[in-house]
Amino acid sequence: MNALRGIHATRPARQRRLAYMAVSATLLLGACAAPQTPSHVYNAARLTPATPSTNDLLKLPPPAKKVVVAVYGFRDQTGQYKPSPDSSFSTSVTQGAASMLIKALNDSHWFIPVEREGLQELLTERRIIRAEVPPPPKGQPAVNNVPALIPATIMMGGGIVAYESNVRTGGAGAAFLGIGLSTQYRVDQVTVNLRSIDVDTGRILQSVSTTKTIFSYEINPSLYKFVNFKDLLQIEAGVSNNEPGQLCVKEAIEAAVLHLTVQGLKDHTWALKNPKDWDSPIIQHYLKAENTYGLTAAQAAKVMAAQQPAPSEN
C-alpha cells in the first residue's frame, strides 16, 4: 500500500517537472524568435564604412598638380544575375560603380573629377541659365553669364569585368550525444579594370585590374535531448554573415585607383609635390605589389615556355 502511494505521489511531481520544462522551453524559444535588433546593427543612417583601401587613399602624399579627369561610365560588364528565384532580374554586382569611382578619385586628392555621366542634364541647366538673361540692346554684344566647362586631360574608363560565384565552398560538422555544430562557407570573387586615357592622343596610359573576394559563412548549432522516455527536446539555431557585395566592389575600385596612381608616378604621367615622398610607405607598398606582379607574370611565362615541346626536325 505504501509503495502504491509512493508511485501515485511521484506522478504529479514528474508531471509538474515536465510542465515546468515545457514552459521554460517555450519561453526560451519565444525569446529567440522575438525580433531584436543586434547591438552591432545601426538603425540610423551613417556614412558608408571605410575600407582598408579608403584609408590608403587618404594617406597618399600630395601631388604637384591635380589632374582633371572625366568619367563617362563604369559599367557592369559581367552579365551576372543573382541565382535566387525571387530576384531573377537583380544583378550580382552594383550598377552604381561609376559613382564609387568618382568618389575614390575625389578622395585621393590627386584628381579633379568633372561631371560627364550626367552631361546632358548639366548642359540643359546651363541653357536655362542663359535663357534667363535678357537680350542685350541692339548693336551691343551678348553677355555670356555662364563660364566654360573645365576640359579634362585624362579620361577614366573600364568597368566590372568579372564576377565568379562559389569560387571556393566548404563546411564541417560534428555531433555527440545529441549536441551538434555545423558550419559552411562560400567565397565569391569580383574583378574590376580601370584604365587612364590621354584625351589629346587617345593613347591608353595605364591599365590596372584588381580582384576582391566576397566571403560568406553560416554556423548552425543544434541540440536533441530526450528529457523523458517519450519527450524529445529539440533546439536549433543559426547565424550567417555575408560580406556586402557593394563594399567589395568599392574596395576593388579604390585599390585600382591606388595602383593606377602609383603607375602614373612610375611612368612620369604625373608627379609628387615633394619628390622625397616617393619613399613614403604607402607609395612603396603599392610599387612593391606591382613589381611582384611583374615578376610572377615573368615566371609564369618561363614555365609555360619550358613546358612547350621542342619543334620536331624532319
Average pLDDT over residues 235-244: 88
Calculate mean pLDDT across residues 260-283: 93
Determine, yes or no, domain membership for 289: yes
Residue 217 is assigned to a structural domain of this protein? yes
**Domain count along the chain:** 1
Return the pLDDT at 4.
43
Spatial distance between the Cα atoms of 158 and 60, rounded to a whole number of angstroms? 23
CA distances (Å), 173 to each of 177, 225, 233, 236, in order? Answer: 14, 18, 20, 14
The reply to whether 140 falls in a domain is no
Q: H helices then E strands: how many in the chain?
A: 6, 8
**What H or E segment, with its residue span, contains residue 270?**
none
- 196 lies in some domain: yes
**Which one, of 262, 263, 252, lies nearest residue 51 by Cα?**
252
- Distance between CA atoms of 237 and 221, rounded to whole angstroms? 6
Is 314 in a helix, a strand, or coil?
A: coil
CATH number at residue 197: 3.40.50.10610
> Residue 181's domain spans which residues?
50-126+148-299
pLDDT confidence band for 141 (50 / 70 / 90)? confident
C-alpha cell at 16: 509538474
User: pLDDT tens digits, residue range 188-207?
Assistant: 999 999 999 999 999 999 99
**Identity of the residue numbered 100:** M
Mean pLDDT of all residues in 68-78: 91
CB atoms within 10 A of CB 78: 17
CA 9/CA 2 separation, integer angstroms: 10
Whether 247 has a pLDDT exceeding 80, the answer reads yes
- What is the DSSP code string of 14-63? HHHHHHHHHHHHHHHHHHHHS----TT--SS--PPPPPHHHHHHHTPPPB
Lowest mean pLDDT of 140-144, 186-190, 204-208, name the range.
140-144
Element (H, E) at 50: none
How far is it, in rounded angstroms, from Cα 202 to Cα 200?
A: 6
CA distances from 240 to 32, 157, 220, 223, 245 (A): 15, 36, 9, 18, 15
Question: How many whole angstroms separate alpha carbon 245 and alpha carbon 148?
Answer: 39
Cell of 264: 602614373
276 three-state secondary structure: helix
- The residues, any chain, with a CB within 8 Å of residue 228's CB and separated by 6 or more, are 18
CA pair distance 16, 11, nearest whole angstrom = 9
- Report the chain's mean pLDDT, rounded to a whole number: 82
Q: Is residue 108 part of a domain?
A: yes
Task: Give the per-residue pLDDT at 228.
Answer: 81
pLDDT band at 76 (very low <50, low <70, confident <90, very high): confident
pTM of the predicted structure, to 2 decimals: 0.77
pLDDT greater than 90 at residue 223: no
